[in-house]
Structure 1
Amino acid sequence: MKKIVSIMIIVFISLNLNAQEKTIDKDSIKKSSIDSSKVKTLDSTIKTLYAVISAEKEVERNWDLFKFLFKPGAKLIPSGKDNDGVYKVRYMSPEEYIKSSGDWLFENGFFEKEISRTVNTYGNITQVFSSYESFKSESDDQPFMRGINSIQLLYDGERWWIINIFWTQETSDNPIPKKYLGKN
């Protein structure tokens, strides 16, 4: 009897989550006038991610397009050492990222350019290690920062969704390995 009740609970929860997810996804797509080709391929999704956060000083980002890239519940997770040398992470929703970084991006200018990509796919899930360089202006010759974005994506049969972006910046004691600096 306990086994039957447990199975029924699991089925109910699964059906309920599935119904909620479909409602959220369809509603976000209906409300959006965004060109779905931006998320049709893995490559277009990654390129859109970099393009949407990159702009000169005092140029507003297309935050609707930014949010369109992410599956509901997705997280952006920066990591790095604190003042005591301990690695820490911060978990943010796309909305929280916009609130915490949007003004800085607007006031300072920011361009993040992909310099290398390593892709691993199994079924409908993909893990991308995307090495990047960051500039304050597109005309800058030297980046002020480099690092690696670990991007997890889901292909639902129609489009690509970003599930998480987990990243860390390059430091003198943690340089980007050569195998992640090759050209695309």
Structure 2
Amino acid sequence: MRTLLLALLLSPLCTYAAEATPEAAVSALWRALSHDAGADVDLPVLKRLFHADAVVFLGHYQKERLRLRRLSGIDFLKPSAPINKKGFYECEVARQLHRYDRFAVAYSVVESRSDQAASQPDFVGVNSIQLQQVGEQWQVLSLHYQVEKPGLPIPLDGGQSGRCLD
């Protein structure tokens, strides 16, 4: 009984330990956004990962023109509430990370699929993620996501399509 009680008390600490490095925070972000059909994103993890003042920029092309949308981190998480009928799987295939003290920036290439077993992604995106260490937890300060421009593939810089980093 004592072992069970100790495990229950320590389990929240283990969850936070998963994001004790900027690399772990970036990996947790992509895992939390992925979900099976009929399920939702891992909202508790995303809420923990995004700093209260976080900002998100979403870029995609529409008729050869880049559309850029800015959201607060809170607003970015709001559309996650409804259950998605299709699955959504994020596969990070390349990452470059630079860190100084309690600040880090990650350049990340992610393939998105509605069918996890699909050989080709539905779309590919490039991301710039700025992170700050708050206490022992690394949090996302900003995320800039841009979907691949038609005719201009995003270089994988040593990564391999379909081979997820984590």
Q: Which residue of 2 aligns with 1:142?
A: 120
Q: Which residue of 1 aligns with 2:5?
A: none
More helix by share: 1
Q: How many residues align?
A: 150
- Work out the CA distance in 2 between the residues paired with 1:94 and 1:118: 23
Instruction: Give, in angstroms, the shift of residue 101 of structure 1.
Output: 4.7
Instruction: Give, in angstroms, the shift of residue 137 of structure 1.
Output: 2.3
Q: Is the 8 A contact 2:56 2:76 kept in 1?
A: yes
- Work out the CA distance in 1 between the residues paired with 2:31 and 2:141: 18
Computed over aligned residues only, the root mean square deviation of the Cα atoms, in angstroms, reads 2.2
Q: Which has the larger radius of gyration?
A: 1
Q: Which residue of 1 aligns with 2:85?
A: 107
- Work out the CA distance in 2 between the residues paired with 1:124 and 1:118: 17
**Corresponding position: 1:67 with 2:47:** yes
**In the TM superposition, what are the counterparts of 1:91-102 in structure 2 within 5 Å?**
91-102=70-81
More strand by share: 2
**1:63–1:157 Cα change, 3 Å:** closer
Q: Percent identity?
A: 23
Q: Is the 8 A contact 1:112 1:134 kept in 2?
A: yes
**Residues 100-159 of structure 1, C-alpha deviations (whole Å, 9 max, x = no match):** 3543x7222100110000112233211110001111022222211111111001123522
User: Which structure would you say has the larger RCO, counting Cα contacts within 8 Å and 6 or more residues apart?
Assistant: 2
**1:88–1:59 Cα change, 3 Å:** same
**In the TM superposition, what are the counterparts of 1:1-184 in structure 2 within 5 Å?**
35-83=15-63, 85-103=64-82, 106-179=84-157, 181=159
Q: TM-score, normalised by structure 1?
A: 0.71
Deviates more, 1:86-95 or 1:107-116: 86-95
Gaps of 5+ in 2: 1-11
Q: Residue 87 of structure 1 aligns to which amino acid in structure 2?
A: L
Where 1:108 maps in the other structure, the secondary structure is: coil
